[in-house]
Amino acid sequence: MIHVGFLKNSFIFLSILPFFPFLLVYFIHYWRKQNKKASLKLAMDVTTLFLIISVSALFNLTFDSKFGFYLILLLLLIAIGLIGSAQTRIKGRIDIQKMAKVIWRMSFILMGFSYLIFTLIGLFKYIIITMS
């Protein structure tokens, strides 16, 4: 039986370094299915959760805040509203599954970019504080 502490520590590790779950899922799925496109999509989908957690923590550290996760949640809800509204105007109905995929994949791109930016800001902040 898997120990709860192991699962917790694994989740924390994968959240701190979100490129590990991306690579892990991509290569395992590609090894089993031999489909690069499907492997990439699955790796993006799995990694988005870890990126959201990681970016919210980096935001909190960078701005000395506790609002990071709620800000990301708010932005996701706004995106859902905007895309849902656009779907209603264009098609006359909302396709929830398609909307969820679009939001989740956009989140991967935005969170990946944010992860890099906040990591660089944190690194520079650490260097400046250490050198002072």
Residue 13 pLDDT:
78
16-45 residues labelled b (16+ CB within 10 A) or e (exposed): eebeebbeebbeebbeeeeeeeebebbbbe
Q: Which residue has the tokens 């779950």?
A: 21
Give the predicted TM-score (pTM) of the model.
0.87
Q: Indicate the residue type of 78.
A: I
Least confident of 28-32, 61-65, 79-83, 104-108: 61-65
**Length of the chain (residues):** 132
Q: Indicate the residue type of 62.
A: T
**DSSP-assigned states of every residue in 19-76:** HHHHHHHHHHHHHHH--HHHHHHHHHHHHHHHHHHHHHHHHHHHHT-S-HHHHHHHHH
**11-29: per-residue pLDDT in tens?**
777 778 889 999 999 999 9
Calculate the average pLDDT of the chain: 91
